[in-house]
Amino acid sequence: MRSRRLVLLTAVTLVLLLAGGAYAKTTLTFWNGFTGPDRPVVESLVQQFNDENPDIEIEMDIMPWDSFMQKLMPSYIVGKGPDIAGLGAELLPRLVEAGVLAPIDDVFTETSVPRDVLAPFAVDAATYKGKLYGTPMSSFALLMYYNKDHFTAAGLAPEAPNNWDEWMQAAIKLSNPPQQYGMVLPTKESPAVWPLLMWSNGGGILGEDGEVLIDSKETKEAVSFWADAVHQHEISPVGLIGPETDKLFQTGKASMHIVGPWMTAGFTEAGLNYDVAPIPEGPKTRATAGGVTSMAVSKQAGADPEKRKAVYRFLEFWNSEESQIKWALGAGFPPNRIDIADSPEIMAHPWVPKFAAGLTYAQGYLVGTPKFSEIESDVYEPAMESILLGKQTVEAALDEAGQKLRELVK
Amino acid sequence: MFIGNPKQKKQPIARHNQHIAYLFLFPSLAVFMVFIIYPIGFSLWSSFTNWSLIQSAEYVGWANYVRLWKDQRFWNAVYNTVVYTVGVVPIGTMLSLALAVALNQNLKGTKFFRTAIFLPVVASTAIIAIVWTFLFDPQIGLFVYYLSKIRITMGAWLRDPDYAMLAIIIVSIWKNVGFNMVIFLAGLQGIPYSLYEAAKVDGANRLQMFRYVTLPQLRPTTAFVIVMSVLGSFQVFDQIYVMTRGGPLYSTETLVQYIYHHGFVTFQMSYGATIAMFLLVVILALTIFQLRLFDRPID
Amino acid sequence: MVVLHGKRVERVMLFAVLVIISIAMLFPFLWMLFTSLKPEADVVTWPPRLLPRRISFTAYKTIWHDIPFLQFFLNTIVFAGGVTLSSLILDSFSAYAFARLDFPGKNALFAVILITLMVPFHVVMIPVFSLLHQFGWINTYAGLMIPRASNAFGIFFLRQFFRGIPRELEDAAFVDGANTWWIYSKIILPLSKPALATLAVFHFMYNWNDFLWPLIVTTSVSMRTLPTGLALFMGKHVVEYASLMAGVVLSLLPVTIAYLSAQQHFVRGIALTGLKG
């Protein structure tokens, strides 16, 4: 009697287990800051993944970047962080130090996306102290947008300048403040325009091995070259923050603008006659700044074999050729994969191929340091602002910045 | 303590059962204790540690407070906060009182004016700040454009360290004047009409009625408006975050802006909490002072 | 023209000033409304235009289709409405105790209540979040609403108002043997309609617009409120101004309606005036 009941119980349990197994879904949470026009593209790719993988469910939460950070930290603290988070390179090292992310060095061998098909700087951006913590979700390089009508009106050929001297001459010639400015040089909340000018002259803020470059001769030369022109010829308004620069270019108040691929849609829709070109070559080199959002895996998800497998499947899906073509054509970003940059679908797009070309030599801005925010807000921004506002000389401001930076990275 | 008036005569209400008061207070206090006072206590504790959201905390004694004392950027934020408060509170209070008095009489269109002036309060500060940034833009803003039509040039206020705070103050007054106006209106409604009639019999003119009837009768309301405005001003955040991010050159960086910077940009939460404790002590002292000054019950 | 009477001149001038102020108040809202009726490409232009070159309802269609607008809208009503209701009740309890009752520790407790207004949310956010997590209240209505169930601003506001109510009625009732609860519910509350209506608008508005709190507490789209939904149109690099403004225009409507209907209550003729006369 008793044993029969036991058998029955076991059978029922087994059936339940089997049935459960067949329907068991691995649920992954995925948070990112892709609001705005990129959101529908991200959503449709995630939807496609969910449809194609009935055993995995990605629950995505998209929110604006700054509130994303505010939600992310407390959530990680109580162990409720997302399994996958779309993180900027500036934040990643700090979170690694905090011990909330899982290294995923085997992702290139476990999935069908090998390391060498991805833009090198984009992989580096997710690497900290020799370990990999994410694969790229999106990557971009800055290019120079220029207004062709302005060039023609100023008696210039509607072509981008090639070197700094041509560039400076064009900037001065195109400036007729306050009606029109040759350039827009933002100092805050913006892509790394000043840093890439520093790099072009062999300077920078912080070198690859952590050496302080912000008070080097090369950096000072580069900053003086452009800041003097701002002071003498008003080639750019001062005190600009990122979004303002976009508005100035869009309204035809600025002739040249260094920014990422996301503005092409808006500028085209506004009817601007413009083109994009590589950043003109500097005295030392041609440089551009790249930006990366990496999909980073939380420690909990990394430790759970089931989840880890599902996460890898999603990362693989995201950087598959097919998805990357959809992403590039939908969002206007260059594909993360450099091996499909010359595929016919990509080449047919008016802008993406140009941005993809930029990815091959792009550098990350202040990547690989957990002190990104301190360096940006205590060292770099105040130095540039006080130079451009005429509160300090280039020499004095950058010397002071160098001192502060040494203190910070000591 | 500070709120009670020592000279206040014993009220008949004292005959109520005292303990029932705690029943009335219990629900609110329970919510506050759990969701605000405990977290404040937590912050107080963390200001004596090196808690950074991510590393486990160690006791560091007064180190954060010593750092505060020497931190120029912190004192700059204190200065900016005071400038903001002094710029916003007196003008904002007087303007809202004037509007409330004006709109408390039978004027044509009163309802429309009240609604128009209140509308900025209804929208969220962040959205309002986006709109004003557009309007204030020195190159493509509507204001600059209209002014250029009549040949007036307007500087780039939000990008100029000398003017950015002024722009923030203007927007803040614009945003909040309707809020205080409505509070004053509610207060004005509570003034018995008989007092005005009595004053009229005594031959008082309108200015005298305002001086000797309206103002004293409005005292609890005024106390409330000023106390709350100072509280709010010391914690200004949204409009600055959207319009200038504390710039240019830290010229609009206020205390809460700086707390945010340490909490969610550099993740030094313990230092952010230290600044918050400083802020708490300052506001508390100011509030006690103001309540002593203004908040005597009228008899 | 006839010589204007002194008082009349004054009235006309006052009227003119009020008209100017109202224009200053309304102008940014006109900009919002007209921006919401522009195609996205027409928002940022030189010369800037207040009026749309052509009227387009694309932005309204976008917010309707791109986000679950109706659901966000209903969630916001539940959240803001629920919090307003509970806060009015609890705030008036406490305010009554502070305004009218004597009890040991009164001043200390009032100070504690005021202190809750003196710390920025960013500072207490993390401990509050941990608490909600321990209670299992993340992504629940309880988590969204209970921490907001009472509000020190409301207590202070009502305390000031209650103190202005003449005591004669209460004394008379007290002599007739009424208890504290009766006085609170039958005398104080009915006399405080203007203040309660005002406070209701403030609470509703504040929670209606709140962004960070609902975003932190909720984790699923089905629990989200309107401001968090509208924020989806603010990209890191590109803001979809027309859609954002369309959402703002629609979200302003209920609060404006709440204000207009509450305004009736503090227009005139509240019981107090008749009381003493």
Q: Give the pLDDT band of residue C277 (cuts 50, 70, 90).
A: very low
Q: Are the C-beta atoms of C165 and C239 separated by less than 8 Å?
A: no
Q: Tell me which residue in A70, A80, A250 faces C44 most closely, judged by beta carbons.
A: A250
Residue bearing tokens 């040089």: A185
* Phi and psi based region of residue C105 (left: phi greater than 0; alpha: psi -120 to 50; beta: remaining): left
Pairing state between β A143-147 and A254-259: antiparallel
Measure A270 CA to nearest chain C CA, in Å. Answer: 5
Look at residue A2 and tell me whether its pLDDT is greater than 60: no
Residue contact B160–A69, C-beta within 8 A: no
Largest CA distance in chain B: 73
Measured CA to CA, the distance from residue A201 to residue A194 in angstroms comes to 11
Residue contact B194–C180, C-beta within 8 A: no
Measured CA to CA, the distance from residue A376 to residue A142 in angstroms comes to 19
Residue B95 lies in a domain: yes
Look at residue C248 and tell me whether its pLDDT is greater than 90: yes
Helix C69-100 vs helix C193-209: crossing angle, to nearest 10: 140
Look at residue A196 and tell me whether its pLDDT is greater than 60: yes
What residues form DSSP beta bridges with A59? A29
Q: What is the model's pLDDT at position A18? A: 53
Mutate to test the interface with A, among B242, B249, B253 (most CBs of A within 10 A): B249
Q: Tell me which residue in B39, B117, B220 faces C22 most closely, judged by beta carbons.
A: B117
Pairing state between β A254-259 and A181-184: parallel
Which CATH fold topology does A143-289+367-409 show?
Answer: D-Maltodextrin-Binding Protein; domain 2 (3.40.190)
Q: What is the model's pLDDT at position C270? A: 38
DSSP character for A408?
Answer: H
Radius of gyration of chain C (CA): 24
Measured CA to CA, the distance from residue C103 to residue C106 in angstroms comes to 6
Q: Give the pLDDT band of residue C268 (cuts 50, 70, 90).
A: very low
Residue B257 maps to which CATH number? 1.10.3720.10
Measured CA to CA, the distance from residue A310 to residue A247 in angstroms comes to 42
C-alpha separations of C249 from B75, B118, C212, C230, C244 in Å:
40, 15, 20, 11, 9
Q: Are the C-beta atoms of B165 and B84 separated by less than 8 Å?
A: yes
Q: Tell me what percent of the residues of chain A surpass a pLDDT of 70.
A: 94
pTM: 0.90
Domain boundaries, chain A: 23-141+291-364, 143-289+367-409
Question: What are the start-end ranges of the E strands in B213-287?
Answer: none
Measure C152 CA to nearest chain A CA, in Å. Answer: 25
Mutate to test the interface with C, among B95, B124, B185 (most CBs of C within 10 A): B124
Q: Are the C-beta atoms of A87 and A108 separated by less than 8 Å?
A: no
Give the pLDDT confidence of A131-186 residue by residue, as tens digits. 999 999 999 999 999 999 999 999 999 999 999 999 999 999 999 988 899 999 99
Residue B2 lies in a domain: no
Closest CA to C94 of C146, C142, C149: C149
In sequence order, the 6+-apart residues with CB closer than 8 A to the CB of A117 are A319, A337, A338, A339, A340
Average pLDDT over residues C6-27: 89
User: B173 and chain C: CB distance < 8 Å anywhere?
Assistant: no
Q: What is the model's pLDDT at position B40? A: 95
Q: Are the C-beta atoms of C262 and C200 separated by less than 8 Å?
A: yes
Measure A264 CA to nearest chain C CA, in Å. Answer: 11
- Give B-chain residues touching C131 at CB under 8 angstroms: 34-35, 38-39
Closest CA to B243 of B128, B117, B161: B128
Look at residue C148 and tell me whether its pLDDT is greater than 90: yes
Give the pLDDT confidence of A269-315 residue by residue, as tens digits. 889 999 999 999 999 999 999 999 999 999 999 999 999 999 999 99
Average pLDDT over residues A221-244: 93
Tell me the residue range of the domain where B257 lies. Answer: 22-294
Residue bearing tokens 């797009």: A349
Mutate to test the interface with B, among A247, A388, A391, A392 (most CBs of B within 10 A): A247
Pairing state between β A56-62 and A26-32: parallel
Amino acid (1-letter code) at residue C194: P
Give the pLDDT confidence of A77-126 residue by residue, as tens digits. 888 899 999 998 888 988 898 889 999 999 998 888 999 999 888 898 89
- Classify the C-alpha dihedral B10-B13-B16-B19 as positive or negative: negative
Pairing state between β A288-297 and A362-364: parallel
Amino acid (1-letter code) at residue B128: I
Q: Tell me which residue in B139, B245, B264 faces A241 most closely, judged by beta carbons.
A: B245
User: B139 and chain A: CB distance < 8 Å anywhere?
Assistant: yes
C-alpha separations of C10 from A200, A367, B185 in Å:
67, 66, 21
C-alpha dihedral (B196, B198, B201, B207), degrees to nearest 10: -40
User: B44 and chain C: CB distance < 8 Å anywhere?
Assistant: no
Give the pLDDT confidence of A361-400 residue by residue, as tens digits. 898 888 888 888 899 999 999 999 999 999 999 999 999 9
Helix C152-163 vs helix B164-189: crossing angle, to nearest 10: 40
Chain B: residue nearest A177 by CA? B139
Sheet holding A274-277: strands in order across?
A181-184, A254-259, A143-147, A274-277
Residue contact B159–A94, C-beta within 8 A: no
- Give B-chain residues touching C157 at CB under 8 angstroms: 183, 224
Closest CA to A335 of A41, A109, A1, A59: A41
Q: What is the model's pLDDT at position B3? A: 42
C-alpha separations of C240 from A167, A308, B127, C243 in Å:
32, 36, 13, 6
Q: What is the model's pLDDT at position C117? A: 93
Closest CA to B40 of A101, C137, C117, C150: C117
Look at residue C6 and tell me whether its pLDDT is greater than 90: no
Closest CA to A191 of A240, A236, A151, A155: A240
Measure B102 CA to nearest chain C CA, in Å. Answer: 8
Q: Tell me which residue in A77, A98, A377 faces B261 most closely, judged by beta carbons.
A: A377
CATH superfamily for domain C62-276: MetI-like (1.10.3720.10)
Look at residue B9 and tell me whether its pLDDT is greater than 80: no
Give the pLDDT confidence of B165-175 residue by residue, as tens digits. 999 999 999 99
Measured CA to CA, the distance from residue B173 to residue B158 in angstroms comes to 16
Give the pLDDT confidence of B75-103 residue by residue, as tens digits. 999 999 999 999 999 999 999 999 999 99
In sequence order, the 6+-apart residues with CB closer than 8 A to the CB of A377 are B261, B265, B266
Average pLDDT over residues A256-277: 93
SS3 track for A352-389: HHHHHHHHCCEEECCCCCCCHHHHHHHHHHHHHHHHHC
Closest CA to C69 of C235, C255, C241, C232: C232
Residue contact A262–C239, C-beta within 8 A: no
Q: Give the pLDDT band of residue C271 (cuts 50, 70, 90).
A: very low
ipTM of the complex: 0.88
Chain C stretch 151-170, residues whose beta carbon is closer than 8 A to a beta carbon of chain B: 152-153, 155-157, 160-161, 163-167, 170
- Give C-chain residues touching B122 at CB under 8 angstroms: 205, 252, 255-256, 259
Q: Tell me which residue in B73, B140, B250 faces A248 most closely, judged by beta carbons.
A: B140
Q: Tell me what percent of the residues of chain B surpass a pLDDT of 90.
A: 54
Q: What is the model's pLDDT at position A163? A: 94
A59 φ/ψ angles, rounded to the nearest 5 degrees:
-105, 110
Helix B219-234 vs helix B72-102: crossing angle, to nearest 10: 150
Look at residue C83 and tell me whether its pLDDT is greater than 80: yes
Measured CA to CA, the distance from residue C187 to residue C184 in angstroms comes to 6
Q: What is the model's pLDDT at position A12? A: 61
Residue B3 lies in a domain: no
User: A81 and chain B: CB distance < 8 Å anywhere?
Assistant: no
- Give B-chain residues touching A97 at CB under 8 angstroms: 54-55
The CATH number given to A23-141+291-364 is 3.40.190.10
Chain A stretch 239-258, residues whose beta carbon is closer than 8 A to a beta carbon of chain B: 239-241, 244, 247-248, 251, 253
| Number of folded domains that form chain B | 1
Residue contact A64–C231, C-beta within 8 A: yes
Q: What is the model's pLDDT at position B16? A: 54
Q: Tell me which residue in C126, C219, C237 faces A36 most closely, judged by beta carbons.
A: C237
Return the number of CB contacts < 8 Å for A and B.
69
Measured CA to CA, the distance from residue B89 to residue B223 in angstroms comes to 12
Domain boundaries, chain C: 62-276
Q: Are the C-beta atoms of C123 and B13 separated by less than 8 Å?
A: no
Q: What is the model's pLDDT at position A355? A: 93
Task: Give the other-Cβ count within 10 Å of B114's Cβ.
Answer: 25
Look at residue B8 and tell me whether its pLDDT is greater than 70: no
Amino acid (1-letter code) at residue A193: V
User: C7 and chain B: CB distance < 8 Å anywhere?
Assistant: no
Q: Tell me which residue in C15, C90, C275 faces B27 most closely, judged by beta carbons.
A: C90
Q: Tell me which residue in A69, A97, A389 faces B248 most closely, judged by beta carbons.
A: A389
Measure B157 CA to nearest chain C CA, in Å. Answer: 18
Q: Tell me what percent of the residues of chain B surpass a pLDDT of 70.
A: 92
* Average pLDDT of the residues of chain C: 87
Using CB atoms, list chains with 3+ pairs below 8 Å to chain A: B, C
Look at residue C31 and tell me whether its pLDDT is greater than 90: yes
Q: What is the model's pLDDT at position A36? A: 87
In sequence order, the 6+-apart residues with CB closer than 8 A to the CB of C261 are none
Look at residue A10 and tell me whether its pLDDT is greater than 90: no
Q: Are the C-beta atoms of A185 and A226 separated by less than 8 Å?
A: yes
Q: What is the model's pLDDT at position B1? A: 34
Q: Give the pLDDT band of residue A11 (cuts 50, 70, 90).
A: low
Mutate to test the interface with A, among C237, C239, C240, C243 (most CBs of A within 10 A): C237
Residue contact B135–C108, C-beta within 8 A: no
Q: Tell me which residue in B54, B138, B156 faces A97 most closely, judged by beta carbons.
A: B54
Chain B: residue nearest A389 by CA? B160
Q: Give the pLDDT band of residue C46 (cuts 50, 70, 90).
A: confident
